[in-house]
Structure 1
Amino acid sequence: MKSKITIIALLAVVAFFVLLYLSFSKVGNEEVKKIAEVQKLRIGFVLLSDTVDNGWNETHYRGIRSACDSLGVQMSLITEIPEERVPLEKAVNDMIADSLKIIVLTSYSYPIIIKDIIESHPDVMFYGINWEFEAPNYKAYFARIYQARYLAGILAGAMTKTNHVGYVAAMKNIQVYRGLNAFILGVQSVNPKAKVYVRWTNSWNEGEVETENANKLIDSSGIDVIAFHQDRAYIIEVAEKRGVYCIGNHVEKNRFSSKMLSSIALDWVIIYKDFIQDYIQKKDNENMDYWLGLEKDAVGLSFYSSEVPDSVKTLVNGAIEKIKAGYNMFSGRIVDSKGKVRSEEGETISDEVLRSDMEWLVKGAVEP
């Protein structure tokens, strides 16, 4: 009798540790899916634009849908919400009223705009692509897009014949500065003589403004390669008409001519599965850092034009392997456009600075 009790006790202990393992480890998709289905997990997502913008929101939506489907999560989606208080507040409050307990804010300024709403609903977990705001029920997530922009810079620096490269930037915020600086450093790494001419639109999606600024760069600066940081394909269309090379932003495959050299790419499936799976397994504690890069193949370039020679591809691929091995392009001596030293030889700019204190341009940027 005693031996039977002992065996039962041992089995109970084993069962306990198996459950503990399932709760606190990265288990397979099927196991996580079962947990999510039992929980009947529903996640709200707020998008800036529609889901067919041939850019940021379209690739974002596809990643969200695929991640949710693979993890057995129900997706609640609200689209075309500008970075403005009234429509964003309504969208989020509607989700809260619908009993959603996890809400994902997919545009940069969303968390700042409604930080009071986030703070006043501690029972709801919020995720956003912004490290400039902190709350117990808010976590930042993102990809290291700047690594992909560095690769794009290498491509632009190697392909330019005039040594004049253009860049149409969106908002003057840390995310855009970080990516733009990485792009410039990429250009300089293969072509120290090249200059990067920058114009700002102060918007994510203003076709007329983007078109105007792209044309001005081509007319006044003699650029023969142009990159950009906006949601849609307006600047690609300008480049096509004007016959200059272009590097896209969140375009999965080339729907244009061979003049489109490549595009910045994010694998949102990897990014969303990473933190949603942790949430399902109750592992989303304050120590989690959801900033994924080349080490997990979360960012990169999505394709190469037929006009990109193998020698240039070799340069880019070499940089990819270097970054995967631990190289940080924000290291060594870096001077900003006003002559201030931001990093010395032997130093590396920390993630903390990259996230919260990069509102400057590196030397080599020209703002005509």
Structure 2
Amino acid sequence: MKSRITIGALVAVAIFFVLLYVVFEKVDNRESVKKTESQKLRVGFVLLSDTADNGWNETHYKGIRAACDSLGVQRTLTIDIPEERVPLANAVNAMIGDSLKVIVLTSYNYPILIRDIIESHPDVTFYGINWEFDAPNYKAYFARIYQARYLAGIVAGSMTETNHVGYVAAMKNIQVYRGLNAFILGVQSVNPKAKVFVRWTNSWNEGETETENANKLIDSSGIDVIAFHQDRAFIIEVAEKRGLYCIGNHVENNRFSPRMLTSIAIDWSIIYKDFIQDYIQKKDNENMDYWIGLEKDAVGLAFYSSEVPDSVKALVNAAAEKIKTGHNVFSGRIMDVHGGIRSEEGETIGDEVLHSEMNWLVKGAIEP
């Protein structure tokens, strides 16, 4: 009897280890398949200008490199592609001809300019930073950069002595309006008397135009703090020469004077890793769009200069914590420059409007 029990026990143990081996072998095989898929994946990225511009494109490139290296993905970059149909179409068609199945368009107007190419290649997945276009093989992604601009507005509103703040904006599109409005609301949250004077350049990267508009703002509006939404540091250079405080845009470290107070920043690696990993794991249809912000530390302020007092930092930190726990900066009574009510007390402006309908300026903006 004893020997039968012993033999039965041994058989049971043997079966257990066989089953355990099978389970772990399947898991290992799945992990091997994922790793192989990621190593085979080649992702194309189209960028607007130089990857060493100390601004928008450089931060993009660093994020791309970090995400791809982390995931074992090969990257193919095409740079210096303006927001113009012909050069963009040539760049994207070359990537498609090279058998790339994932193409990332890193500038706002890119998807609109080649919508026919996107729609005619359903076997290629495109990602772009624009919610104004839709297709089955296109997914929008972006950082909630307006949250960082709101925080930068708190700094500007706290540091101005004239209550006149300047802002040099690029294109009159929803992305720029959204960020500008958030900045103004940030200024007003700490300084209700402040006004924000705005000039438009209709360019992302035109040094002469940006310099001219910054100087016009300074000469005509009595501003003592200036912010901007462009790719490079031309506005900062004007502020340095004219002795103004400045808020940077995608500047990772302060190579200027302490009058450069801070800069909005995006950690693109968090965003790129998020959606590329979903694509590898075939989860991308579960999350059709990617809009990531302070809740994952994808946006924020890059640094503070010695000119920014601790009391201002405390205001920014308090606002950031509030946003992280779900506060929408576009909340409460918000009026536009024409007196229209866009949000009432107890209301918020939701993502659908922020994506596609915010083509207006909040009260407090002045276009001289």
Structure-1-length-normalised TM-score: 0.93
User: d(CA) in 2 for partners of 1:338 and 1:128?
Assistant: 32
* Further displaced range: 287-296 or 269-278: 287-296
Deviates more, 1:355-364 or 1:61-70: 61-70
Mapping of residues 348-367 of structure 1, within 5 Å = 348-367=348-367
Correspondence for 1:187? 187
Q: What SS does the corresponding residue of 1:352 show, helix, strand or coil?
A: helix
Residue deviations 1:120-162 (CA, integer Å, cap 9, x gap): 0000000000111111111001100000000000000000000
Does the residue aligned with 2:70 lie in a helix, a strand or coil?
helix
Query: What's the offset of the Cα at 1:288?
Result: 3.7
Distance between the aligned counterparts of 1:152 and 1:167, measured in 2?
A: 12
How many Å separate the matches in 2 of 1:12 and 1:131? 48
TM-fit CA distance, 1:289: 3.3
AA partner of residue 359 (structure 1)? N
| Residues 1:11 and 1:288: Cα distance change in structure 2 (over 3 Å) | farther
Amino acid at match of 2:89: E
- How far apart are residue 17 of structure 1 and its match? 7.8
CA RMSD of aligned residues (A): 2.1
2:99 alignment partner, SS class: coil
Q: CA deviation at 1:287?
A: 3.4
Work out whether residues 171 and 203 of structure 1, in 8 Å CA contact, stay in contact via their aligned partners in 2.
yes
Asked if 2 retains the 8 angstrom alpha-carbon contact of 1:267 and 1:299, the reply is yes
Structure 2 unaligned regions, length at least 5? 1-7
Taking every aligned residue pair, what percent have the same amino acid on both sides? 79
Separation of aligned partners in 2, 1:184 and 1:165: 9
Matches within 5 A, 1:186-335: 186-285=186-285, 287-335=287-335
Counterpart residue number, 1:27: none
Contact map agreement 1:56 1:232 (CA 8 A) in 2: yes
Q: Is the 8 A contact 1:34 1:72 kept in 2?
A: no
Is 1:343 matched with 2:350?
Answer: no
1:26 paired residue number: none
Q: Deviations over 1:34-76 (max 9, x none)?
A: 5412xx1100000000111110001111110111111111110
Q: Which SS does the other structure have where 1:235 is aligned?
A: helix
Q: Distance in 2 between matches of 1:82 and 1:255?
A: 27
Distance 1:34 1:202, change over 3 A: same
Secondary structure, aligned partner of 1:199 = strand
Partner Cα distance (2:214, 2:287) in 1: 42
Distance across 2 between alignment mates of 1:194 and 1:255:
28
Greater than 6 Å deviation, 4+ residue runs: 1-6
1:89 aligns with 2:89: yes
Q: Which residue identity lines up with residue 38 of structure 2 in the other structure?
A: A
Which residue identity is paired with 1:98? D
Cα distance in 2 for partners of 1:261, 1:208 equals 23
Corresponding position: 1:61 with 2:87: no
Change (3 A) 1:127 1:16: farther
CA distance in structure 2 between the aligned counterparts of 1:164 and 1:184, rounded to whole angstroms? 11
Q: 1:332 to 1:17 in 2, by over 3 A?
A: farther
| Cα distance in 1 for residues equivalent to 2:305 and 2:33 | 41
**Structure 1: gaps spanning 5 or more residues:** 24-29
Q: Quick check: 71-80 or 4-13, which moved more?
A: 4-13
Q: For 2:133 and 2:16, how far apart are their aligned partners in 1?
A: 52
How many Å apart are 1:14 and its aligned residue? 4.0
Residue 108 of structure 2 is matched in structure 1 by 108
CA distance in 2, matches of 1:31, 1:309: 53
Instruction: Give the match for residue 154 of structure 1.
Output: 154
Q: Which amino acid aligns with 2:119?
A: E
1:279 deviates by 0.8
1:140 aligns with 2:109: no
Alpha-carbon distance between aligned partners in 2 of 1:13 and 1:176, rounded to the nearest angstrom: 55
TM-score, normalised by the number of residues in structure 2: 0.93
Among 29, 35, 38, the residue aligned to 1:36? 38
Partner Cα distance (1:71, 1:182) in 2: 34
Kindly tell me: are residues 189 and 31 of structure 1, through their superposed partners in 2, closer, same or farther at Cα, counting changes over 3 Å?
A: farther
Change (3 A) 1:100 1:346: same
CA separation of 1:52 and 1:334: change in aligned 2, threshold 3 A: same
How far apart are 1:326 and its partner, in Å?
Answer: 1.2
Q: Is the 8 A contact 2:169 2:230 kept in 1?
A: yes
1:296-324: CA deviation from partner (whole Å, max 9, x where unpaired): 00000000010001111111111111111
SS in 2 for 1:212: helix
Counterpart Cα distance in 2 of 1:33 and 1:225: 50
* 8 Å CA contact retained: 1:33, 1:73: no
Matching residue's letter, 2:116: D
